[in-house]
Every structure is written in C-alpha cells, then in structure tokens.
Structure 1
Amino acid sequence: MPIATSNFGMAVGAFLFGTISDVAGRKKMIPITMGIIFCASASLSFAQVNFFINLSVFMLGMGIAGNNIVLRIYLVECLPMRKRGTCLAVIDMFWVVGYLSAIGVSWSIMPSIIRMLGKQFRPSSWRVFAIICGTPSLVIACTSGLLPPSPRYLLLRRRPRQALAVLQQMYAINNLKHADTYPIRNLEDCVRPDDEDEAGSIQRYFTKTWERINRIHKSPYKRMTLCGILACLLHFPGFVWLALWNTHVLQEMKEHYVVSGTCNIDVQNMVLDFLQNCDKVNEARFELLLLVSLGYVLGETLLIVGIDVVGRRPYLIFSGLAGGLASLVLIFRLHHAIRVTLSSIFLAAYAIGRTTTGTVMGLTKILPYLTLFVLQFYMRTTCLLSIIVASASLIGAAIVMLLFVPDLTRLPMKE
C-alpha cells in the first residue's frame, strides 16, 4: 500500500506544484518542495500507525515529484539554449548518482541494523534509512535561497527591470565582466506577458489553471500536448521501478525459462526478495541491482557528451531501437553475463529516452504516475509479457517523438 500511495502523491504533486509555480514563482517552490520532502521523511521515520505511514509516503511523493517539475522548469528557463540539453542531462546524472548512493546506503545499513538487533530483522529497521535519506533535503532547501529568480518568469509577470538585473548578474559571473557591459538593454516584447494579476484569489488560481489546460488542448498546441502526454505515459515505470523489475526478471530467469509460464512478476516479491529471510540480507540481489543500474550512468553519459551536438531526434531513434531490441533478446536462452549486459543497455536506452522527453512538464506527468499506482496494486503477470510491454513502450515512445514532435535542439523556447 505505501509504495502505491507514493506514486499517487507524485501524480498530485507534479500537477499541483507545477501550476502553483506559474503563480508564486519557480524559485519560491524549490525550498518549499524540499522542505516537504524532509518533513515527510522525518514523519515517516516516527510514524507508528498505517494511516500516518501512508500519509507521510503520500506527502513524500508530492514533494519529490513537485521538486522535480519545478526544478526542471527553473533550469529550462535559465539555461542558454546551446547548453540546455547537456545541463539537463547533468542534472539527471546527479539523480542517478543519488539513486545509486541510496542503494549503497541501504545495502550497508540493513546488515548493520540486523547485527545490532541480534540478527533479528524488524519491520521498524527502515526508519533509520528514511531519516538519513531525508536530511540532505533540508540543507538544499536552505542553500536554494542563493539561486536567482527565473528571468523568463519575471518577464511573464511584467517585471522587465528585475529580469534585466538577473541577466546582467549571470552575464557578469559567467564572463568575468562588469554587469554594465551586458549588450541587451531592453527586454520588452521578448516574452508574451501573462494577463493575470499577481494578487489573485484562490478562485482566480483555479480559473486560470483551467484556462491554461483548455488552451494547450486546442490548436496550435493540441498535437504537441497529446504527443507529450503519450510519450511520458510510455515512460511510466521511472528509474527506480524499472531497475527493480529488471533485476527481478534476471533473478527469475536463472531458475525458470522465460517462455515456460513459470517465470512470474509480482510487485511484492520485487521488494521482499532483497531479504533472504528475517536474519539475512540477499547480497546477490543488491549486487545485481547495482550492476544493472550502471546502465543509467552509461545513458546519461552519452547524453552529456553529444545531445547538443547530435540532437535529440537521433538519440531517440537510437535509444528506442537499441533498448527495445535488447529487451526482446532477453526472451532467449542466454548466459547470465550476457543478460546482465543487455539489461544495462536497456536501462541506458530508457535513461536517454526519458531525459530527452523530460522537458514536457506538469500535466503530462499525471498519467505515468497514476499508471504505476494502479500497476503496483494489481500487477501479477509473467516475465514474457512484461518484457514485451517494456520493449514496446520504449520503441513506441521513440516513434511518437520522432514522427509527431519537432526537434527543438539548440532552438529558443516557444510560447
């Protein structure tokens, strides 16, 4: 239940904080969402009843998804168009590093807790891990006050003088020159301003949000919106759950032939199999998860090296075909080392596709999180069917972005 609740919270947080940032500003939402993550982690570590555990997990999901949306919007609006793709790939690389670090921390903490409790693993042992992982969010929430406001947001709110001052400051720092030498003096008509008053009521906020949703579902935005929603939906598993699924499939295929029908996928077993029993951690499962997850590092590294040189479209074609084929080949009888290599290629391709389509924000993230929320309740299937679905999703997302979405690499943002 808590696992699925976190994804429901992500669906709510992605949309809620994405729309609030249009009113309150990107910079203000970054420390707020990080503070929510810390408070939810602290609450989770002390919660004793199921209601408060699920509430804490829900709030944690809201904070994580909201921070991801707000931070990416902030960076997209601040980064130069020549380096935008590379910088976003670097951000996702740090996310992957954090994910791998979390695996390492959990791997090191769980055995020590078991030894501390006299080789009797207790359900409350995860509380230490929750508070440790939530503590850095408080530090980031404090240091985010050093960030400048988004110049684009200031222009949207009809504050061109403040936007010019921020751009002059960026220019002076990046070029080691005086701010007065910034070549642009007038920012009027650079961005179409919003027609909303800043001192709006809550009712005004809901009205404007509904108007914006209607606007992006009409021409000329309709096709782009629908394609973005579909592409994000096809990338629904997310980094963590896709790696957990891949690791579980590899372990199952060691004992069962994938097309025999005895190789099965169960969400509960995907997590519980990290413990061999109440007294011992499954070291082999942690090692395999960490090894396979290195594919994410490979994918993000390839993006950092060449996304702004080669362009998004070639990367999408490559990632879709390579990842889909690598996943399908897992169906055949192969040596375990070859299967691990193919799984890493599949995860690398997924990282490329997800990061490349990751600038589609807010509304497009609701369906992926809700899909994962439902699957975590009801997913009971075979390894063969799950492999086919994973392969088709990756190839389908690449086809959608290839055929229907223009390549905006190194181009300015469009209204």
Structure 2
Amino acid sequence: MGFDFLADGGADFEHAITVTGFGKFHYMLLAVSGLIYMNTAIGVTILSFVLPAAACDLEMDSTSKGYLTAAPMLGMVIGSYLWGCLADTKGRKVVLITTLLMDGIVGVISTFVQYYWAFLLLRFFNGFAITGAMGICFPYLGEFQPTKYREKILCWMEIFWTMGVVVLPLIAWGIIPLDVTYQTEAFLFKSWNLFVAICALPSLMIGLWLFAFPESPKFLLECGEYDKALKVFQHIYAQNTGNDPETYPVKSLLEKPISREKSPRKLRLHKRKDLKVLFSEVWDMTKALCRPPYLRNTLISCAIQFGLTSSYYTLMVWFPELFTRFEEFYEDHYGEEASVCIVSSLEDNSTLTDPYGCETEIANSVYLNTLYIGIACLPGAIILPLFVHKLGAKFFLIASLLISGGVTIGFYFVVNADQNLILSCIFEALTSLGISLVYCIIVDLFPTNLRVMAAALSLTMGRLGSLIGNLVFGYLIDLACVVPIILFSGFLFVCSILSFFLPRTGKDTLD
C-alpha cells in the first residue's frame, strides 16, 4: 500500500487506521456498538408498556405516569454530562462497561420492588446509567474508523435503534399477556415484572462482551499513550487481515505535544489532589466548548437536541398509552370517530370508576400497532447509509425535522385509531432518524478531546427537554392536549431551521 509516512518515521492516526484495513474487527465493533444502541432503545422506551401494564399494581393515574416517565429522563439529565466527562478523561471503554453493568443490575433490582416511589427511584438510576452508553457508543465506534468510512458506518447505527423499537413490542407481547402471578402478603410478582427483568439482561451481557474490545486508539493518542495505541492498531490489523500483529507496517506514531503533565487516565478519583486535577480538566474542556471556534456548533447542537429529543421521547413513550385509550373509547362508543384530544379528555371521566385502570388489559392491537411503528423505521434506516455520502447527513436531518413537525400537527386532526397509527409510524421513523443523525454529525464537528463532552452536553440538553416534555404531557394529556401538540411541532420546526446553520460533515479528516 502506498501511504505517505512522515519524515521521522511516525504515522498519524489517519494513516495508522487505514493501514489496518477494513474487515472483521470493524464489523464486530459495529455489532457491539449497534447492540449498545439497540439496548438503549429498549431501555428508554420500556416504560411505554410498563405504564398501562403496571398502572393498577403501582396505583398510577396520568400524572403519576408522567412522573414515572420523567424519572429516567431526570437521571439522563444528571448522568449525561458526568459520563461524558469521565469518558473524555478516563476512557470510552471503561465508562461504557460501567454504565451497561449498572443499568442491568438496577433494572433487575427494579423488578422486585413493590411500591411506586421505589420503582420510580430505580428507573431514575436506569436513566442515569443508560444515557452514558447512548452518548458514548457513537464516538467509540467513530474513533476506530478511517474518515472515508466514518459517516457511513455511523449511519448504520440507525438500523440497530430500529431493531430495538421492533423487538420491544414483541418481547412485551410475548410476556405481559401471560398469566404469571406470584403473591405473598408482602410480595407481588406479575408478568410485567418479568418483562422488566428480561429487558435488563442485555445490558449485562453486552457490558461483559465489551471486555474483549480495546480502548479507542484515537483517545489513547490524545492522552499521549502511543505504545498502547500502537498495540491497538496491531490488534485491529491482525483481526482484519489474519496476519501476525508484528507485521503491521507502522512501527511508530506521530507524537503530539501534551500540555498536561499527567494523563487524566492515570488520575485516581479517591485522591483529593487527582480529583482536583480531574475537575480542572473537565472545566477546561467545558470552557473550550463554550468558546470560539466551537461555541456556535455547541449552541446549535444543544438546541437541536433539546427540541428533537423532547418531542421524540415524550410521544414515543406515550404512544401505547394513547393506543390503549383508543381501544377503550371504541368499546364504549362503537362506530364513532374521535380525535386524540377527545379520546384523552374522555379518559378523565372514566377515572371516577377505575382510577388506576385495574379493569383494563392491553389489547393485542396495542402491541401490533407499536410493532408497526418500529417496522416503519426500517426504510429510512436502510436508505440513510446508502445515500448519506451523496446527499449528506445535514440534508437528511433537515428533511426529517421538517416533515416530522408537520406530522405532529396532524395528530390534532386525526379522527380514528388508524389515522393515529399512520402518523405515529411516520413520526417515529423520521424523529428516530434525526436523533441518530445528530450523533453522527457531532462526531465530525468536534475534535477527539472534546467529542464525547460535546455529545454529553447536547445529550444533557436533550434529556432536559425530555424531562420537561414528559411532565407537561402527563399533566396536560387529560386537560388540554392541543398544547403539547403545538409545543412539540414548534420545537421540530425550529430545529429544522437551526440545522441549516450546521456545517457539512463527513469530508475532512478530523483531529
């Protein structure tokens, strides 16, 4: 291969990663990163089926459901920046493993709690953990890719999110309707508890699998750990080519001046002095994001994440609840048509006789409709990586935001469950695509030492939007549902306008 190595014999990252080839290692890395993203799709939307299934056992009205859906979002708000700071100072891999194992363990524990507030608290910690995995899997995957493949590989991640959205209703449909009940005087375990437990297991398995993967070589180079980075390149080369690692053509890497005396990876968090240095590193990176030349991109990406994520996660979590309400409406008003807002306002009257939905079962059509929503994401997930190089991630982001904003307005005008389903499918397909595109763009907008921090900061703003959105939706769905519809559609239109100001990505080599 004809690569231009530098005069001193060292190779920069782009040369070093290109010499490793592209093969088995990259496909395995895409698989584990994709499964992490798929698992986060399950983790953040699992409550969409817990809400109607556990309403009676946990004694939840609409406001309580709003608090429950907001709890993991609050955890995400707090966890996003914390995990991002640790990933940019201690490493991508260690934080990914920690967050996944924490999410799995807390998820299993939440299966056995008996009280609403205990379950809410544990779902907070689920959100706190899973947001770290979500924010870091894109930079981790992207930092192993040559520039010419990076944007395309990252766009394939959307297919895994879609798989998560498709798999979740299938798991729920297979478990929640089962007649599983174990009851004593102080303990009750039902099918929805089993559903929560099974959804927690993938986090544990993926977290353990990640031990077999190396740390990001781009991050190691940034920390000045050139020997470790070279060993990672040799490992990738051996996996891709089947050759001995020692035959890897690059023998040394281009060293950059390191401004800090001690690599942040070597800091010990239990030592006050090292902790002070770590906080100083985090503060310096935060200030860098809030100053030129990164300030503009930081503000735009945070604003887009706030508006897009608040709209997506709020409506996605509440879709099964809305489908359930349509089913109940048709049972009492056969042959009549009504909008989402009318159906929801009638729900408030039914709470007088059955405030917690103890006499309500989730109809099979609810699972089926949610499955249709997931399947609707497949075309976009396949088209995106095939055409992203021709049209650019920015084009797809703007288009998805504009159309999804119009679809959100359409929810006010639907008059039956079928129309509601069609709009829900379009909304889910476009907004989930938009969220993946934002992650892809952020990887290219910021350098290695700020990349995860930037993703974490924008993710924090997105989760703050989700938190506010779920609280607003839970409170207003029975009272004035037109307000959240106008609010979320407005958010999406504003995000589409802001996207015009993002630079084009995927063409230049990054630092």
TM-score, length basis structure 2: 0.70
| Structure 1 residues 340 and 158, CA gap change in structure 2 (3 angstroms) | same
CA distance in 1, matches of 2:182, 2:121: 29
Aligned to 2:385: 304
Aligned to 2:437: 356
Aligned to 1:412: 509
Superposition deviation, residue 400 in structure 1: 1.0
Matched, 1:395 2:493: yes
Higher relative contact order (CA 8 A, sep 6+): 2
Q: How does 1:183-198 map to 2 (within 5 A)?
A: 183-189=249-255, 193=258, 195=260, 197-198=262-263
Q: How does 1:15-414 map to 2 (within 5 A)?
A: 15-50=81-116, 52-113=118-179, 124-177=190-243, 179=245, 182-189=248-255, 193=258, 195=260, 197-198=262-263, 199-200=266-267, 201-237=274-310, 241-246=314-319, 257-258=338-339, 262=342, 264=344, 277-278=358-359, 280-332=361-413, 337=418, 339-359=420-440, 360=442, 361-379=455-473, 380-381=476-477, 382-402=480-500, 404-414=501-511
Aligned to 2:15: none
- Whether the aligned pair in 2 keeps the contact of 1:276 and 1:282 (CA below 8 Å) is no
Q: Which runs of 5+ in 1 are unaligned?
A: none
Amino acid at match of 1:388: I
CA distance in 1, matches of 2:348, 2:139: 34
The structure having more radius of gyration, on CA atoms, is 2
Superposition deviation, residue 150 in structure 1: 0.5
Superposition deviation, residue 8 in structure 1: 0.9
CA distance in 1, matches of 2:487, 2:201: 37
Aligned to 2:58: none
Superposition deviation, residue 367 in structure 1: 2.2
Q: Deviations over 1:364-403 (max 9, x none)?
A: 111221232233334305444433333332232222122x
| Structure 1 residues 158 and 364, CA gap change in structure 2 (3 angstroms) | same
- Whether the aligned pair in 1 keeps the contact of 2:100 and 2:206 (CA below 8 Å) is yes
Say how many residue pairs are matched.
403
- Whether the aligned pair in 1 keeps the contact of 2:337 and 2:415 (CA below 8 Å) is no
- Whether the aligned pair in 1 keeps the contact of 2:311 and 2:469 (CA below 8 Å) is no
| Structure 1 residues 23 and 330, CA gap change in structure 2 (3 angstroms) | closer
CA distance in 2, matches of 1:297, 1:373: 27
Amino acid at match of 2:193: R
TM-score, length basis structure 1: 0.85
Superposition deviation, residue 30 in structure 1: 1.8
Superposition deviation, residue 104 in structure 1: 1.4
Q: Deviations over 1:188-244 (max 9, x none)?
A: 25x674626234312222222122111211111111110111011111237554334
User: Mean Cα displacement is larger for which, 103-112 or 302-311?
Assistant: 302-311
- Whether the aligned pair in 2 keeps the contact of 1:12 and 1:62 (CA below 8 Å) is yes
- Whether the aligned pair in 2 keeps the contact of 1:327 and 1:387 (CA below 8 Å) is yes
CA distance in 1, matches of 2:78, 2:284: 19
CA distance in 2, matches of 1:301, 1:292: 16
1:352 match: secondary structure: helix
**% same residue:** 24
- Whether the aligned pair in 2 keeps the contact of 1:154 and 1:160 (CA below 8 Å) is yes
2:309 match: secondary structure: coil
Aligned to 2:42: none
Q: Deviations over 1:140-167 (max 9, x none)?
A: 1211111111011111110122212212
| Structure 1 residues 217 and 240, CA gap change in structure 2 (3 angstroms) | closer
CA distance in 2, matches of 1:76, 1:9: 26
| Structure 1 residues 6 and 175, CA gap change in structure 2 (3 angstroms) | same
- Whether the aligned pair in 1 keeps the contact of 2:92 and 2:215 (CA below 8 Å) is yes
1:46 match: secondary structure: coil
1:88 match: secondary structure: helix
1:134 match: secondary structure: helix
CA distance in 1, matches of 2:357, 2:116: 25
| Structure 1 residues 184 and 396, CA gap change in structure 2 (3 angstroms) | farther
2:509 match: secondary structure: coil
User: Mean Cα displacement is larger for which, 143-152 or 240-249?
Assistant: 240-249
- Whether the aligned pair in 1 keeps the contact of 2:96 and 2:133 (CA below 8 Å) is yes
CA distance in 2, matches of 1:139, 1:239: 28
CA distance in 1, matches of 2:317, 2:119: 22
